[in-house]
Amino acid sequence: MSVRRLAPDHVQPASFAFDSANENWADQQIAKYPQGRQASAVIPLLWKAQEQHDGWVPRAAIEAVARKLGMAPMRVMEIATFYTMFNLQPVGEHFVQLCGTTPCALRGAEALKKVCEDVIGPQSTVTADGKLSWLEVECLGACCNAPMAQINFDYYEDLTPENFKALLEDLRHGRPTKPGPQNGRTGSEPFGGGETLKDPALYDGSVIGAGDWQKRIAEQRKAAAEAAAAKAAAAEEAKKAEATPAAVGSKPATETAAAGRPKPSTPAQPSGAAQDTPAAAGKVTKAAVTESAKPAAAAPAVAESKPELLTAARGGKGDDLGLIWGVGPKLATMLNEMGVWHFDQIANWKAEELAWVDARLTGFKGRATRDDWISQAKKLATGWRPESAVGEKPVK
Ligand code: FES
């Protein structure tokens, strides 16, 4: 570490004062500290003084900071001479701090020093054009890209005498430069690519005796894919089977549901499922599971007949079908779209017509039967109204 002294008198300015912007900035820094602790702002103020004074701190700036903070000038002098980030000598427009610590030295920093001496001159001197000056410093923390130099606020790494000399010339002539590694690296990754952990055997499990686990996983994945495909096909098949009555039902005449088609929600369903209340509609009872597990062919065929439907509500206003217990907004919309708008329509359904409607309540099949819509609608058609807006639960 070189001895740090103030610059000779002939380069020292006669005076120093913060400009108004920096004065304001300094006041803000000082205000951050409690009364009586203003001296804590000494480093930021010295830094700002250096910034204002072309990158170095003259004696007059040290004294000005001391006055501003109410400190003895010697205390500020001690700080300015201790910390190497404060330059006590004039510096060039591009101030080169060349790392000379062991890793950089081992990687060729000595040759870079020679470049500095050849291109710039002795340490702490500024070139005649004022563009460059240099100083050897201790480790700057970029050892894995050694050798390196900090130039103003940028790091230039992986330097060689050749690229360093070219870099200094570019700076001197105002040409653009690229901070960071100068050898094609983007960070501190291995130069030319990785040289370790390249054996493929490290990644197939053979090294640790895991056997042919890749094959095993491939087989498991294949089996899972086949199972998923089979499940999707079964679901598609079930969907087609459900869609069948809609197509049949579009015929005007009374029709019979296709034999063998699953009828989980028709009136012929087991009583356990038919007695579900709306609140419990999502539950699957043991009886229902058992029933649904029976072959579809065992389900009894149910006669269906299309009821009288309307193209629109009579008088432009339908009844509030939500007053039927179990009919929510979704079912009410479904009924309206089907052509059912009024209580008396439902009240007049025959069993076959109820079955026709029930089979078309997508997602709610069997609900009309289970909740006995016909009886509820008969009461509502007389003008009777339940106490609750969601209707009155039918007594089974
Ligand atoms: S030794 Fe040069 S950056 Fe660390």
Give Cβ neighbours of residue 252 (< 8 Å, ≥ 6 apart).
Answer: 306
Q: Give the confidence band of 207 by pLDDT, cuts at 50, 70, 90.
A: confident
CA distance 139 to 125: 22
Q: 98 CA distance to ligand 1 centroid (A)?
A: 9
Q: Give the confidence band of 387 by pLDDT, cuts at 50, 70, 90.
A: confident
Which pLDDT value is given to residue 80?
Answer: 97
Beta strands in the chain (DSSP E): 94-99, 132-137, 149-151, 154-157, 180-181, 255-256, 303-304
For residue 98 and ligand 1, the question of a CB distance below 6 A is answered with no
Q: 41 CA distance to ligand 1 centroid (A)?
A: 30
Which pLDDT value is given to residue 195?
Answer: 85
- In this prediction, residues 193-212 reach a mean pLDDT of 77
Provide the b/e sequence for 120-155 (b: ≥16 CB within 10 Å): beebbebbeeebbbbbbbeebebbebbbbbbbeeeb
For residue 140 and ligand 1, the question of a CB distance below 6 A is answered with yes
pLDDT, the chain, mean:
85
C-alpha 70, offset from chain centre = 51
- First-to-final CA distance of the chain: 99
Counting atoms of ligand 1 from 1, which one is nearest the CA of 142? 3
For residue 159 and ligand 1, the question of a CB distance below 6 A is answered with no
Q: Give the confidence band of 282 by pLDDT, cuts at 50, 70, 90.
A: very low
Give Cβ neighbours of residue 297 (< 8 Å, ≥ 6 apart).
Answer: 259, 260
Q: 103 CA distance to ligand 1 centroid (A)?
A: 6
Select the more confidently predicted residue: 107 or 300: 107
Which pLDDT value is given to residue 2?
Answer: 67
Nearest to 304 by CA among 262, 245, 363, 344: 245
Pocket test for ligand 1, best of 96, 98, 104, 154 (most atoms within 8 A of CB): 104
pLDDT digits (tens, 9 = 90+) for 339-356: 999 999 999 999 999 999
Which pLDDT value is given to residue 240?
Answer: 87
Select the more confidently predicted residue: 177 or 213: 177
pLDDT digits (tens, 9 = 90+) for 38-95: 999 999 999 999 999 999 999 999 999 999 999 999 999 999 999 999 999 999 999 9
Q: 22: burial class by Cβ within 10 Å (0-12, 13-18, 19+)?
A: middle
For residue 109 and ligand 1, the question of a CB distance below 6 A is answered with no
Q: 67 CA distance to ligand 1 centroid (A)?
A: 37
For residue 99 and ligand 1, the question of a CB distance below 6 A is answered with yes
